[in-house]
């Protein structure tokens, strides 16, 4: 009986969680309540930081590296990051189903491309 219960529990759990997509991020970022606005900015800043740290781990960020998607100015404001990502999603609706972190990377890459020697 325990075996049947365990098997039924396993089958009731989804095989994989749904990914948080660029569309989902854009919906969150379009909301005007303070919690949603903060969550949007926090997601984008966190994703950008994670991408930066991954790049640093594979070779540094002293200039355009293999896999480096963006070079942010030191004084960039969270709203500027949010605007860049939302603009990219709006301009590329065919990619809005991509993972949200991928959309952050692509959006920031479009707005803040690395230049040789950056």
Q: What is the mean pLDDT of residues 92-102?
A: 92
Query: Residue ranges of the domains in the chain?
Result: 20-111
Res 19: pLDDT: 84
pLDDT of residue 83: 95
Q: Tell me: the pLDDT tens digits for 17-69?
A: 568 999 999 999 999 999 999 999 999 999 998 887 776 666 655 544 445 67
Q: Indicate if the pLDDT at residue 90 is higher than 80.
A: yes
**Vertex 61: Cα angle to 56 and 67 (nearest 5):** 75
- Which residues pair with residue 21 across a beta bridge? 99
Considering the domain 20-111, what is its CATH architecture?
Orthogonal Bundle (1.10)
């Amino acid at each position: 009986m325990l075996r049947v219960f365990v098997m039924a529990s396993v089958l009731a759990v989804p095989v994989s969680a749904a990914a948080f997509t660029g569309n989902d991020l854009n919906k969150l970022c379009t909301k005007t309540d303070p919690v949603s606005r903060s969550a949007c900015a926090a997601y984008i800043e966190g994703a950008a930081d994670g991408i930066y740290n991954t790049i640093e781990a594979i070779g540094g960020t002293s200039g355009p590296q293999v896999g480096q998607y963006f070079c942010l100015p030191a004084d960039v404001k969270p709203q500027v990051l949010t605007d860049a990502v939302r603009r990219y999603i709006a301009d590329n609706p065919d990619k809005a189903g991509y993972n949200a972190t991928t959309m952050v990377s692509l959006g920031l890459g479009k707005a803040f491309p690395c230049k040789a020697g950056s």
